[in-house]
Amino acid sequence: MFPLLEKCRGGAALLAALCAAGAACLAGCGGGGPETIDRVERVPAEERIAPPVMKTAERMGLIADRGFTWDLPEGWSRGPDSQMRLATFLIQSDPLAECAVSTLYGDGGGLEANVNRWRSQMGQPPLSAGEIAALPRWPVLGTDAVAVEASGPYASMGGGTIDDALLLGVVCPMEGRTFFVKMTGSRAALEAERERFKAFCLSLRPTGGLAP
């Protein structure tokens, strides 16, 4: 009855059919476009490879084996154990004073860096290589240790602050590791502990992990 209308309907149907065929062809060929991941496989917990659990001390290269003995000076006592130290000693004459013993693999950053790091903690300028070479040497654990002394304001890792503080320390390079003894406290208290600190350092004897 309406031939023009019928003709239009037929053209629309043909166009729709062609579009559908083209879409099917593209879906079948993939067209080189992005692929969609529609499945994720879960690995059973017992088959997963977990990284080894390391303690803080191990991650920082600290050696867990204490490996030494000592003669405890009068007025000193053992402090609480710490993962970051081999031993801690408390000083009866000063509640803020402590003597920390630690060791690191290798050169621990180097003699110059460690000496100047301690000096910076006391607000002191760095020493030159020549000045560090002139520092006193003590026989500690069978080798020559560099003795360090610095004074000034000090803030401990525990949050305590000492306005007029003194730092006494030794840096002892050893084969494959570096040994440290660091004592901090008020200047008045540590001036009186100076000889006991040296005697303690000289009394250290290697055993186990620190033995040559």
pLDDT in tens, 121-148: 999 999 999 999 999 999 999 899 999 9
Average pLDDT for the chain: 78
Q: Are residues 70 and 13 in the same domain?
A: no
Q: Which residues pair with 168 in a beta bridge?
A: 149, 183
Total H helices, total E strands in the chain: 5, 9
What are the two backbone dihedrals, phi and then psi, of residue 106, each rounded to the nearest 5 degrees?
A: 70, -150
Q: Please say whether the beta carbons of 186 and 153 come within 8 A.
A: no
For residue 49, is it within any domain?
Answer: no
Find where tokens 């240790």 sit: 145
The stretch 67-77 carries a mean pLDDT of 91
Q: Are residues 65 and 135 in the same domain?
A: yes
Report the C-alpha gap between 166 and 189 in whole angstroms. 9
Range of the domain at 2: 1-30
Please report the pLDDT score of residue 107 as a whole number: 86
From the number of C-beta atoms within 10 Å of its C-beta (0-12, 13-18, 19+), residue 142 rates as middle
Q: Are residues 98 and 140 in the same domain?
A: yes
pTM: 0.68
